[in-house]
Amino acid sequence: MKIKALLSLALLTTSLSSFAEQNNETHRVGLDISGGGASYKSSSKDGDGVGQAYLYYNYHFTPILALELGYNSGEDLDDWKCEDENDRKFTCTQNNKTLFGLGANNLEFDNFVVAAKGYYQISDNSYFYGKLGANYYDYEITRGRTKLITDDGIGFVAEAGWQYDWDNGMAVNLGYKYLDMGDLDTSSLSLGVSYRF
């Protein structure tokens, strides 16, 4: 996973050689929704999926370099299996596999992010972007109401992706994000919208 962080840093550094014109607008707010996998102490089992929502603000020092502040919230995703019975009646059951081989059935985490974000223009409205920074994390792994593991601290965050900006300020992005939270880490694909002003 450390290689993915280095690739994001390389993209961020390369972006400094490009000048992305965004009409001198210095602010951006956005929301990303993502899904992916998690591992705890490098143990990843089937069913260790997570979903996340990330709300962020960017301040652009230059058109290609920004400071990002954000809040991320995530939890495990339960696997559901639905079967069609009698041609109109569906029966759905939850495949609640234990997380990380710990016997846990719930994971919740929150992150406060501070990161440097760079852009590399590939067409008039299209950009590659890279992000590298730190996150303050707080997570709980539980079985029912019993807390098995709780931890907080500082880890790093890396992301690389593609963004399309319309002239009206709206943008969409698609990215790959890695969050390091000590013994816990997540990697996910994200889809987001943002607005610059």
Q: Where are the domains of the chain?
A: 2-19+27-33+49-54+63-76+110-128+154-196
Measured CA to CA, the distance from residue 197 to residue 195 in angstroms comes to: 7
Is pLDDT at 42 greater than 90 in this prediction? no
- List CB contacts of 77: < 8 A, sequence separation 6 or more: 35, 49, 50, 51
Both structure tokens of 139: 């997570």
Q: What is the DSSP letter of 99?
A: B
Structural Rg of the chain based on CA atoms: 19
Q: Are strands 89-95 and 49-62 parallel, antiparallel or unpaired?
A: unpaired
Is pLDDT at 161 greater than 70 in this prediction? yes
Give per-residue burial for 58-81: e unless 16+ CB within 10 Å, then b.
Answer: bebeebbebebebebebbbbeeee
Give per-residue burial for 158-186: e unless 16+ CB within 10 Å, then b.
Answer: bbbbebebeeeeebebebbbbbbbebbbb
CA angle 47, 184, 178 (to 5 degrees): 85
Q: What is the pLDDT of residues 63-98, one digit of tens each?
A: 899 999 999 999 998 665 667 777 677 776 655 667
Mean pLDDT is lowest, of 16-20, 28-32, 73-77, 145-149, for: 16-20
CB 67, CB 117: distance < 8 Å: yes
State residue 14's pLDDT score.
Answer: 44
Q: What is the pLDDT of residues 100-132, one digit of tens each?
A: 878 888 999 999 999 999 999 999 999 999 999
Measured CA to CA, the distance from residue 50 to residue 186 in angstroms comes to: 8
pTM over 0.85: no
- List CB contacts of 119: < 8 A, sequence separation 6 or more: 15, 18, 20, 63, 64, 65, 66, 127, 128, 129, 163
